[in-house]
Amino acid sequence: VYLNADYTGGQTRFLSPGFDVPAKKGDAALFVNAAADGTPDMSTRHAGMPVLTGVKYIWSQWYRERSVMPLTQQRLTPNDRP
């Protein structure tokens, strides 16, 4: 959720579809980042574009279907690491 409006720039850019979500106070970008089988949906890759003037404040909330174990606690082989 974008919390303020006294800045320019700072839109959220979705890379694969190639569109921007304008940063307007009170608006939010909501999306599901995985398919029903749990595979990542690469079309949800996004980035915050640079703020050109002022300071941008946002609130982010992640919802997970199941708990996530930190990488330091997982038993991964060298081929599993990102």
pTM of the model: 0.68
The pLDDT tens digits for 44-65 are 999 999 999 999 999 998 877 7
Does residue 76 or residue 49 have the better pLDDT?
49
HSE, CB side, 13 Å, CA atoms: give it for residue 66: 4
Close Cβ partners of 57 (under 8 Å, ≥ 6 residues apart): 2, 3, 4
Burial (0-12, 13-18, 19+ Cβ within 10 Å), 56: buried
Arithmetic mean of pLDDT over the chain = 83
